[in-house]
Structure 1
């Protein structure tokens, strides 16, 4: 039917139907816009200037909400696991056998003909662990003595008998290692002792054993703090953690040989001042968080953060592209130039030249707000972007501290929250000890046994015997 032949009422009816359809489509479009905004908000958690490239969700065709948080080790950058092409393979060194077993055969399995003698040997090394051993239960009959002269009462001690609790050094060390190295819940730690050693203990007992390991290692924790306080360069970073459901922060302080964690309810400059001391004279390598310039003026701001943010802004605003290009060229050029091992005078000249270059960069006129914000951040850190030029021991990035936070972040996903001050104490102590020992190439299990054993000896040496006053 030709529209010219429609009556006025029919045209009105068709118009109302089209208007209703338009309203339906507009409503659906609004819903889609809301959904897109929601997904973009979630995506910014993974795709933002402060997200390291290794953590970005790219090239997978899968949204962050569809990915399992447990799969943080899965490659998301389009690469494949394993050694890259062109790298030489690594082989395990064959161990020396503890015993040799001769494996012989008397006759042919095909025809049954008897063999006269062997014509060769095909050796195969097989490594096996012993069957799980049951616990050794020892009763220490600790004799008590009383001095006839002064009335002092003494209880005899034995190096293998702990002053408290019924579990020995190995159980304490394995409990702490299972929790903080193998990331097991305390209930699973108890199950493991039952399955492997037929040792019955509860999850609470595994917690108390881990707490004893932390108390035993606290002196070494404080020694790590003193070493870091005397360091010339310290990487610092922080990330959130829950304490009894409330917001807290776990800080990391890392040098070439030591790593210290500190769980605090503050994210302010008071934390580095407490851990490092207000008179700390070294260089702090950090990101752009305001707590760091409030603590020290001797900083090196992280170029990895800066370049990621510049790249992110440049992807949305064309006028930011020359900014990102200039920063990238400066950073790459400085890395190559520093490999020539320049002298102090050359370093000072390069520092002045690059400082002037950054000043010229931030003075350019831009219209986009996000580009102006980027230039403002560069300007705010002008005194701290180029510290690494004059100080050879200073790194231009804070990757060391970010790497140190990976283990606490994984544990955060597993444990959820720390319950109280005792949990904070154990968490920061054991994490610090394990990380430092690994940096120094030491065996964490052997070191845990050492600190627990040493603590028992120190406790006995400082124990004050009870004194009875004669009537």
Structure 2
């Protein structure tokens, strides 16, 4: 019995094939080959379409994209849900916030107002109300800059005839601008992100002080020098803390002062609350900033620059894990099953964690519950990671499998917060600290020079540190500038 011939997936008896004219056989084989090529092309195009659709559907909730990239329609269309995924009910409006009144004895003026006639019948009224209604109006007085003229006399020596001119008193700057004015200029062009031209306009409109853009640049440079020591001390302090949150974002740096001759991309690193712009995002940079001998726990995302950290000293951000799980769940087939299973366990984990934070669940009970949940997550990751894929495969399932394999390599670092008091499961502290830097980058396109980057990082370090301590930034900048001019000890950023 002769074997059948398979052409394009169809079995043709040997006798039928032998009876087919040679020209028809050639045509059939040619069409069969073309069908095979077209099927492969369609498969590749389908795969490409799935990849493009996944990229098109990426948001800040299923990828590492920032929330600002979601767009207005995305943010408007998103509906908040509770921890079980159900839509939240509309909340009651917040109560009206009433401004807190200052004590009476601290007011500059107190006006006692008494009615003379009844508002109902018009009869005369008199007397005294021991508990009157209080209304306070806050006003800014006209600000007149204080101008001090130093007259430096030059006198001749009666012996040798040499002429000697008097020196400025200690703490008086040759720039011609006082330390508080310098602090306001740095505050406006720093945390409040005003341009040189806007700073000049504001100083003229608010205080009647005329400034050139060159003067603004010189005052900024002076402030960088004044803050160098406090910022360096803040870096040393951060490197000695038991827990460190780290993150980074792109921050362009120009070559106006020769600090970036190769036009290398700059990166803003944050170790809450210390900032630094470096022309690298490598492991060497992370080691230099964090410290190779650091003995505390680092909370970060899974970027490869942190791969040198011992797993026992590393807490992987669960906010990033949630995005990865969401991306899996939004795919089809096995990826969706894996993602949904991981998301269910993630929600359960955070319900427990929130109870630990508010004191309704003891940590010992939390640890006991997590043991079973951890094994479930590890099993799900292992089962998916064991699926075979080609080395160059780019299907949605292949992406899910590779993500699971990478997570298994750092699996112990997912649970450091469970067993260590003081460690948070997310890196929200670092991401929130970077938001002012991101806004600064969007409005100024980064820095034009290395000195400009230093101004940005120094002011961000100062503002973030003082905000966490509820300290006044203008007073600190004024004291730092005064200390720099007088050559005395600068104020400290440390708590």
> Normalized against structure 1, the TM-score is what?
0.73
Judge conservation of contact 1:144–1:156 (CA < 8 Å) in 2.
no
User: Structure 1's 123 and 180: CA in aligned 2 closer, same or farther, altered over 3 A?
Assistant: same
Instruction: Indicate the SS of the match to 1:234.
Output: strand
The answer to whether residue 376 in structure 2 is matched with residue 376 in structure 1 is: no
Instruction: Indicate the SS of the match to 2:188.
Output: helix
The answer to whether residue 137 in structure 2 is matched with residue 127 in structure 1 is: yes
Instruction: Indicate the SS of the match to 1:384.
Output: helix
Q: Show structure 2 runs of 5+ residues with no match.
A: 1-47, 81-89, 255-262, 389-396, 491-495
Distance in structure 2 (CA, Å) of the matches to 1:352 and 1:283: 21
**Corresponding residue for 2:270?**
252
The answer to whether residue 203 in structure 2 is matched with residue 199 in structure 1 is: no
Judge conservation of contact 1:285–1:302 (CA < 8 Å) in 2.
yes
Distance in structure 2 (CA, Å) of the matches to 1:450 and 1:226: 21
Instruction: Indicate the SS of the match to 1:379.
Output: helix
The answer to whether residue 417 in structure 2 is matched with residue 388 in structure 1 is: yes
- Alpha carbon RMSD of aligned pairs, Å? 4.0
Distance in structure 2 (CA, Å) of the matches to 1:282 and 1:120: 65
**Corresponding residue for 1:23?**
none
The answer to whether residue 328 in structure 2 is matched with residue 309 in structure 1 is: no
- 1:139-178 pair list within 5 angstroms: 139-142=149-152, 156-159=167-170, 161-162=172-173, 164-178=174-188
What is the number of residues matched between the two proteins? 400
* Residue among 288, 291, 304 paired with 1:274: 288
- 1:8-47 pair list within 5 angstroms: 41=55, 44=58, 46=60
> Normalized against structure 2, the TM-score is what?
0.70
User: Structure 1's 384 and 104: CA in aligned 2 closer, same or farther, altered over 3 A?
Assistant: closer
1:300-337 Cα shifts (integer Å, max 9, x gaps)? 00011101210121022332222332333344345546
The answer to whether residue 292 in structure 2 is matched with residue 285 in structure 1 is: no
What is the CA-CA distance between 1:215 and the residue it aligns to?
A: 1.3
What is the CA-CA distance between 1:119 and the residue it aligns to?
A: 7.4
What is the CA-CA distance between 1:350 and the residue it aligns to?
A: 6.4
* Residue among 80, 88, 99 paired with 1:92: 99
What is the CA-CA distance between 1:372 and the residue it aligns to?
A: 0.9
User: Is 301-310 or 89-98 further displaced after alignment?
Assistant: 89-98
* Residue among 419, 432, 444 paired with 1:403: 432
What is the CA-CA distance between 1:363 and the residue it aligns to?
A: 1.9
Judge conservation of contact 2:116–2:126 (CA < 8 Å) in 1.
no
Judge conservation of contact 1:347–1:390 (CA < 8 Å) in 2.
no
Q: Show structure 1 runs of 5+ residues with no match.
A: 1-33, 64-73, 462-471
Distance in structure 1 (CA, Å) of the matches to 2:479 and 2:406: 48
* Residue among 461, 475, 485 paired with 1:432: 461
1:382-406 Cα shifts (integer Å, max 9, x gaps)? 1210111111111110000000011
1:98-147 Cα shifts (integer Å, max 9, x gaps)? 202466899999xxx9x977678886634333343232221223578999
What is the CA-CA distance between 1:178 and the residue it aligns to?
A: 0.6
User: Structure 1's 360 and 416: CA in aligned 2 closer, same or farther, altered over 3 A?
Assistant: same
Instruction: Indicate the SS of the match to 2:247.
Output: strand
Distance in structure 2 (CA, Å) of the matches to 1:285 and 1:249: 18
Judge conservation of contact 2:356–2:366 (CA < 8 Å) in 1.
no
What is the CA-CA distance between 1:443 and the residue it aligns to?
A: 0.5
Distance in structure 2 (CA, Å) of the matches to 1:91 and 1:301: 42
**Corresponding residue for 1:342?**
363
Distance in structure 2 (CA, Å) of the matches to 1:193 and 1:239: 32
User: Is 211-220 or 397-406 further displaced after alignment?
Assistant: 211-220
What is the CA-CA distance between 1:429 and the residue it aligns to?
A: 0.8
What is the CA-CA distance between 1:36 and the residue it aligns to?
A: 12
User: Structure 1's 292 and 332: CA in aligned 2 closer, same or farther, altered over 3 A?
Assistant: same
